[in-house]
Structure 1
Amino acid sequence: MKTQSFGVHFTIRADKIKDGKAPVYACVTVSKKRSYIALKQTIDVKNWDNARGILRGNREEVKKVNNYLQEVRVAIATCFQQLQLKGKMVSADAIKNAFLGTAEEVYTLKTLIDYHNETAVSSLKWSTLKHYYVTQRYLEKFLQEKFKAKDLYLTELNYKFINDFETFLRNHQPKDHQKPLNNNGIMKHLIRLKKMVHLAVRLEWITKDPFINYKMKILKVTREHLSAHELSMIETKKFPVERIDMVRDLFVFCCYTGLAYVDVIKLTPDNIVEMDKGEFWVRTFRQKTEAPVNMPLLPKAMEIIRKYKGNIRSEASGTIFPVISNQKVNAYLKEIADLCGIKKNITFHLARHTFATTVTLSNGVPIETVSRMLGHTKIATTQIYAKVLEKKISEDMAALKKKLAC
C-alpha cells in the first residue's frame, strides 16, 4: 500500500448559509484527496472558528457541539485504522463510506491477480500459468518503484499506467543471470495484464477498459531452425560424455518427430504403436493444447528409440528416454553447438522448428499434413514455418536458368 497522509477537518459551506446558520461538514483528506461528509449539525456562522474547525465560546450548547465533532473525528479515525488493519485500500471516499455504513467491496489490482490465478488453475496448464506469476512479480516491482505501493485500486488503472508499465519493462535491468526483456517479451507481459483487466470488466469490477486506446507493438520474428547440414553435423558428431550424447539423441529425435520437450520426455513404450507392414507410429497428446498427435516414425527416430531400449534410467521412470530437466537440456545443447561449431542459439524448441521447416516442408510435405503432425489446432500456426528457404530459391532459379537457356 502507499504511505498515506490522513487528516480530518470540520468546515462549513458558504453556499449553504441560511438565516445566519450553516451545516457542518467533515472534510476527510487522504494523500491530498478529499471527501466531504455532511453531518447532522447546524451552527451559527458568527461563532464558527474555521481555522480550528470548532465553535467559539463556553456555553453549554457550544460544548455539546464541539464534543459531538470530537466524537465524529474519533469515529472517522477508527474507520481509517480498520481499513488499514484489514489490508483494504484506503482513500477518502472509502473512509466516508465506512463511516456512513455504505462501504462496498473495493477491488484492487492484487485482488484481480489473485482471483485470476485461483480460477485459472483448472483451465490453464502450469507451463502457461507460471508466466502469469512472472508478470505478477514485474507488476509488484513496478508498483513499488513508481508508486511506492504494494497495491492500487483497479479504478486507478488507465492508459498512463499501462504506458508507464511498458516503459518500466523496457528499462528494467535484471540483477541476476537473465537478459533484459526484448520487445515481444514485454508485449507478452502486457497481453497477460490485458487478459486479467478484461476479466475485471466482465466481472463488472471496473466499467472502463484502460487498454481501449493502447496498441500492442508485436514485431515479426523469423523462426530459427537448423539447416540440413547443421542437423547432419549434430547427428554424426561423436560425444565421449554420456550426458551430452543423450541430450543430442533427445534433440535429434525431436528434429524428426516435431515433439516439444514436455511431450517427448513423458513418452512411454505405450505411445509407440506398431501398425500394418511393421510401421511404427507415435500416438500421444500435446500437453499445451491437448491436441492429438498421430504420425509414423521416420527410420532415424526409430533408431534412437531402439538405442535406449533397456536403459536403466528409462526403465526406472517408465519412459522411453531418461528423464532430464528442460533447463539442463538447453545448457547441454549450448555445449553441443560449440563442439559442432554452430553459431546459432540452439534451444530444445529449435528441434520442433527444424522438423517443421528443414525435415518436412522443405522436402515437399504438404502444410496440412505438417500441421496435423505438429498437433496444431490452427493451420495459421503452422504457416509461420512455411517460408521459402534459400535452398528452394536456389533450386527454382536453377530450373529457370535452364528454361531460359533453351
Structure 2
Amino acid sequence: MANIDLKLSSKEDKVTHRCEILIRFYQGQKIDYRVKSGLFVEPRHFRYFVNRNASKKQGVVVPDKVTSVTKEEAKAKGYAITTRGEVVITDRLITPEVKFDKEQARLLGELQTTIMDAFVAADKSNLSEDWLDKIVYRFHHPLGTGKVKRQRGKKRVSMYELAEEYLDKKRFSYDHTKAFRVLVRDLARYEAFKKKVLQEKFTWNIDKMTRKDIEDFEDYLRNEKTLSEKYPKQFESILEEYPAEINVVHTMVKLQDRGENTIVKLKKKFKAFMQWLYETERTTNRPFDGIKIGVEKYGTPIYITKEERNLVAETDIPAMFEKLDDEDKKACSKLPLRTLETQRDIFVFQCLVGCRVGDLTRLTSQNITQGILEYVPSKTADEDAPVKPRIPLNPCALKLVKKYEGVDKDGRLFPFISPQKYNDAIKAILLICGITRIVQVRNSTTGENEMKRICDVASSHMARRTFVGAAYKAVRDPNIVGKMSGHVEGSRAFNRYRQIDDDILKETINCI
C-alpha cells in the first residue's frame, strides 16, 4: 500500500512566518520519493504525530484521543513526537492569515489525491526519478506542459506565473529564491504604478518588453520611496494589491531607498530570468542586449581584532555600564544588562565559529561531534552539493556551549533573541566595552565613504567577518578558511580581505 507522509520544513520565511510542507511518498522498499509541496502554513497549524511507545518509556501517559500535537504542546506535556504530522486548523477567528492557511490545507488535500490517482494509473515498473516532481509541478501549473505558447482561446501565461516556473525549474537555494521573489514584487509594484499613477495600459509582456521598459524600471527602483511619498494614496493600494499569481500574503511594508548594489543585484536576477526564458524557447525577445548591469562595490570589511574580541569576552558588563555617561547609558538601555551578558556570550561564540546568524540560531548539540561543529548553511542547503563547514571549537567556545547547555527551551545551543534585538545588543556591548574606534564605512545607499564609530556599525555579520578576518590573517589561505566559514572555493568574498594590513606586510618582509 502506498503512503504519504508530511513534514514541515525548518526554514521559516521571515516575511510570512510560514514553512513549506514536505512530502514523502513511498511503497515498500523500492519506491520512495521526497518532494517540496510548494504549499506553506504557519508552524502553529502543523501538528506532529505522538510517539506513544517513546512517551511511555519516558513515563508519560498519552490520552487515547490525542494523536497529534504542536511542538509547543509536546514540550509542555512531555510527549515524544515523530517528525511526521498533519495540518490542523481550528481557529474560530478567520483572519486573512488563517484563511490563507485553510486554502493551503485544501490544496494539500487535493495534491495528495492527485498523487495517489497518478500512482494508480502509472506503470510501477517504469517510474522515473522525477516522477513525483512532475506530478507536483503539473498540479501547480495546469497550463504548462512544456513551452509556453499562446493558443487561440487560451489566456496568456503571465510573467509572474513564468517566474514561479523559473523558480521551480532552477531549484535555487532558499536565500536566492527569497531574493528573486523580492524582484517579482518590485516588478508587480512597477506595473501597478504605471496603471494607477501614470494611467498607462501597461502589463509586463516577455515578448514585447523593450530596453526602454527595463531602463524605466531601473529608474523606478531608484525613486520608488520618493514616488510613494508623492502619491501616498495610490501606493497604499499598490502595496495591498499584488497580483494573485504571486500567491503570497503580504503585509504593508515601509519602502526604503535603494543603494546601487541593491539595484545591480536586482538587474542581474532580472537578466538571468529573461535569459532563461530565451534559452528555453519561451520567448525570442532579448531586451537586455546592450544594457550595462554594473558591478557591486563594497568597502573593506570592518571587524574587531582578536584582542577586542577577548576584551568583549572578559568585560564585566554591569560594572562598565555604570561608567558610561548618561547619553551612552540611554543608548545601551534597550535591553536588560542580564540579556546583554547572554548576548555577549553568543556574539563571542559567533566570532569563534563564523557562521551566519540564520545558521547560528538553528544550531543544537547534535551539530557538535567530538569538539567539532558541523552544519549545512541555509544559503547553500538547497544546492546539489552544499558546502558543509567543519569548525574545531576552541576551549572558550566549548566553555560557552557548556555554560548554556539545557537553557534554551527549544533545545538550541543558546537562548537566542530576534536578529534585530541581537544587532542592537551587539552595538550596546561594544559601546560598554569601550570599543569605539573610528572606521571608514561605505554608505550602501549613497556609495560615499563615511567615518563612524565601530560600535555604531556593529551587527551579527561583524562576528562572521571577525572570524574570517582573523583566520585569513593567520593562515592566508582562502580555501582553508572556506572549509570553516562555508565560502565556496574561489569565492570573491575573500578578495576584500586581501587588502592586507601593515602588520602582515612587515611579517612578510621579516621572513625574506
What is the match of residue 141 of structure 2? none
3-state SS in 1 of match to 2:225: coil
- Cα deviation for residue 116 of structure 1 reads 3.1
What is the match of residue 235 of structure 1? 313
User: Quick one: which amino acid aligns to residue 380 of structure 1?
Assistant: S
With over 3 angstroms needed to count, the CA separation of the structure-2 counterparts of 1:154 and 1:388, relative to structure 1, is closer
What do the CA deviations read for 1:352-402 (whole angstroms, capped 9, x no partner)? 111111x211123532210111122223345334313324256349859xx
User: Quick one: which amino acid aligns to residue 134 of structure 1?
Assistant: V
TM-score, normalising length: structure 1: 0.64
- Cα deviation for residue 263 of structure 1 reads 1.8
**What is the number of residues matched between the two proteins?**
291
What is the match of residue 267 of structure 1? 363
Is 1:363 the counterpart of 2:474? The answer is: yes
What is the match of residue 458 of structure 2? 346
What do the CA deviations read for 1:214-273 (whole angstroms, capped 9, x no partner)? 121113313423231443443333334222222222222121111111222111112211
What is the match of residue 155 of structure 1? 207
Distance across 1 between alignment mates of 2:435 and 2:254:
24
Q: What residue ranges of structure 1 are gaps of 5+ in the alignment? A: 1-97, 275-279
- Give identity over the alignment, percent: 23
What do the CA deviations read for 1:264-308 (whole angstroms, capped 9, x no partner)? 21111122112xxxxx21122222213111121122222221221
3-state SS in 1 of match to 2:495: coil
Distance across 2 between alignment mates of 1:351 and 1:178:
28
3-state SS in 2 of match to 1:295: strand
With over 3 angstroms needed to count, the CA separation of the structure-2 counterparts of 1:169 and 1:183, relative to structure 1, is same
The more displaced of 188-197 and 105-114 is 105-114
Contact map agreement 2:348 2:463 (CA 8 A) in 1? yes
User: Quick one: which amino acid aligns to residue 196 of structure 1?
Assistant: F
What is the match of residue 287 of structure 2? 210
User: Quick one: which amino acid aligns to residue 350 of structure 1?
Assistant: M
Is 1:172 the counterpart of 2:224? The answer is: yes
3-state SS in 1 of match to 2:498: coil
Is 1:136 the counterpart of 2:184? The answer is: yes
Contact map agreement 1:371 1:382 (CA 8 A) in 2? no
- Cα deviation for residue 207 of structure 1 reads 0.2
3-state SS in 2 of match to 1:210: coil
Distance across 2 between alignment mates of 1:252 and 1:179:
31
Distance across 2 between alignment mates of 1:269 and 1:194:
42
What do the CA deviations read for 1:88-141 (whole angstroms, capped 9, x no partner)? xxxxxxxxxx9xx94565343233234334x16x82343332222222222122
With over 3 angstroms needed to count, the CA separation of the structure-2 counterparts of 1:337 and 1:210, relative to structure 1, is farther
Q: Identify which of 396, 405, 408 aligns with 1:300.
A: 396
The more displaced of 164-173 and 391-400 is 391-400
Contact map agreement 2:175 2:378 (CA 8 A) in 1? no
What is the match of residue 158 of structure 2? 108
Q: Identify which of 285, 299, 309 aligns with 2:376.
A: 285
The structure whose residues are more often helix, as a share, is: 1
What is the match of residue 335 of structure 1? 428
Larger Rg: 1
TM-score, normalising length: structure 2: 0.51
Which residues of 2 match residues 196-207 of structure 1 at below 5 A? 196-207=273-284
**CA-atom RMSD, angstroms?**
2.9
With over 3 angstroms needed to count, the CA separation of the structure-2 counterparts of 1:336 and 1:165, relative to structure 1, is farther
Contact map agreement 1:258 1:353 (CA 8 A) in 2? yes
Distance across 1 between alignment mates of 2:406 and 2:206:
57
3-state SS in 1 of match to 2:369: strand
Distance across 1 between alignment mates of 2:190 and 2:277:
20
User: Quick one: which amino acid aligns to residue 475 of structure 2?
Assistant: G
Is 1:256 the counterpart of 2:256? The answer is: no
3-state SS in 2 of match to 1:376: coil
Contact map agreement 1:107 1:153 (CA 8 A) in 2? no
Contact map agreement 2:359 2:377 (CA 8 A) in 1? yes
3-state SS in 2 of match to 1:361: helix
What is the match of residue 193 of structure 2? 145
Contact map agreement 2:300 2:497 (CA 8 A) in 1? no
User: Quick one: which amino acid aligns to residue 357 of structure 2?
Assistant: Y
What is the match of residue 317 of structure 1? 410
Distance across 1 between alignment mates of 2:315 and 2:182:
38
- Cα deviation for residue 155 of structure 1 reads 1.9
Runs of 4+ in structure 1 deviating by more than 6 angstroms, as ranges, are none
Q: What residue ranges of structure 2 are gaps of 5+ in the alignment? A: 1-149, 230-252, 319-336, 381-385, 437-452
